[in-house]
């Protein structure tokens, strides 16, 4: 008994010394790991790449245009610049006419399709899934034009043709979309769709306001598919919602 009691303090002391040494070494290793990790990043990323990555954050904060209403330049600076600014990963560099000429030769529609759906190392919508299709189209036009193209940038909040911000006429463009797509459900009121011209069905919905209706119809609502399945421009879809909802006033 007395022998065991005599050993205990020595073992405790050894354990404590061991624990302190272990902790000191562990903390030193962790600190080294943190600083060397940072140093490796700093070496791997060139100043240009760092700048390209840092800049978009500032630009995104600086641009307070509402979602969907950003110009090609704003989208470019917020998203596309991070690769195309420096030509990262083999992307055609902004303003480099030599790199853009073979791309421009594919035509605006092909470039838009590739920007929307992705193309090799180019991620769909540049990785920003919340961009609207029109915003991507504007960014493609902005970048293409900087590389020597003469693309028309779709106007913000208006016609896809670029008519200086003028909204599309609901009774022309909207009617056309309605008759080709929306009529399938809204013509007869199929699947609970508010029927064309039915004031009672539209009354409670109209209180959401035109933009509220556009927003919910864009997202989809129960049996109403996103954009009613329409794949054309946001401006045309907007005009179709206006045409359809006006019928219920």
- Report CA-CA distances (Å) from 91 to 7, 129, 135: 71, 19, 19
Shortest CB 87 distance to ligand HEC, Å: 9
Candidate ranges 14-22, 24-32, 153-161, 205-213; the one touching ligand HEC (CB under 6 A): 205-213
- Report CA-CA distances (Å) from 167 to 45, 127, 170, 192, 209: 45, 29, 9, 29, 17
Binding flag, residue 228, ligand HEC (CB under 6 A): yes
Binding flag, residue 235, ligand HEC (CB under 6 A): no
- Cα separation, 65 vs 48, in Å, equals 27
Binding flag, residue 194, ligand HEC (CB under 6 A): yes
Shortest CB 54 distance to ligand HEC, Å: 14
Q: Which of positions 156-185 make contact with ligand HEC (CB under 6 A)?
A: 177, 181-182, 184-185
Is residue 230 within 8 Å of residue 177, measured between CB atoms?
yes
180-215 core/surface letters (b: 16 or more CB in 10 A; e: else)? ebbeebbeeeeeebbbbeeeebbeebbeeeeeebbe
CA atoms within 13 A on the CB side of 194: 20
Nearer to ligand HEC, 136 or 155 (CB): 136
Residue ranges in contact with ligand HEC by CB under 6 A: 75, 79-80, 82-84, 88-92, 103, 106, 110-111, 114-115, 119-123, 125-128, 136, 139-140, 143, 177, 181-182, 184-186, 191-194, 205, 208, 213, 216-217, 221-225, 228-230, 237, 240-241, 244-245
């Amino acid at each position: 008994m007395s022998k065991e009691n005599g050993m205990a303090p020595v073992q405790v002391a050894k354990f404590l010394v061991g624990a302190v040494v272990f902790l000191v070494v562990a903390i030193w290793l962790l600190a080294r790991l943190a600083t060397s990790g940072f140093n490796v990043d700093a070496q791997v990323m060139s100043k240009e790449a760092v700048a390209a990555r840092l800049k978009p954050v500032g630009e995104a904060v600086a641009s307070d245009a509402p979602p969907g209403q950003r110009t090609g330049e704003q989208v470019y600076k917020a998203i596309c610049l991070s690769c195309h600014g420096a030509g990262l990963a083999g992307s055609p560099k902004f303003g480099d006419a030599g790199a853009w000429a073979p791309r421009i030769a594919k035509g605006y529609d092909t470039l838009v399709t590739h920007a929307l759906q992705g193309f090799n190392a180019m991620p769909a919508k540049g990785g920003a899934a919340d961009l609207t299709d029109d915003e991507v189209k504007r960014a493609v036009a902005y970048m293409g034009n900087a590389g020597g193209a003469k693309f028309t940038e779709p106007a913000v909040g208006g016609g896809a043709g670029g008519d200086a911000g003028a909204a599309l006429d609901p009774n022309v463009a909207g009617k056309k979309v309605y008759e080709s797509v929306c009529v399938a459900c809204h013509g007869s009121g199929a699947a609970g769709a508010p029927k064309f011209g039915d004031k009672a069905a539209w009354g409670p919905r109209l209180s959401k306001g035109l933009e509220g209706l556009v927003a919910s119809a864009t997202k989809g609502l129960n049996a109403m598919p996103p954009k009613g399945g329409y794949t054309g421009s946001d401006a045309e879809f907007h005009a179709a919602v206006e045409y359809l909802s006006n019928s219920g006033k």
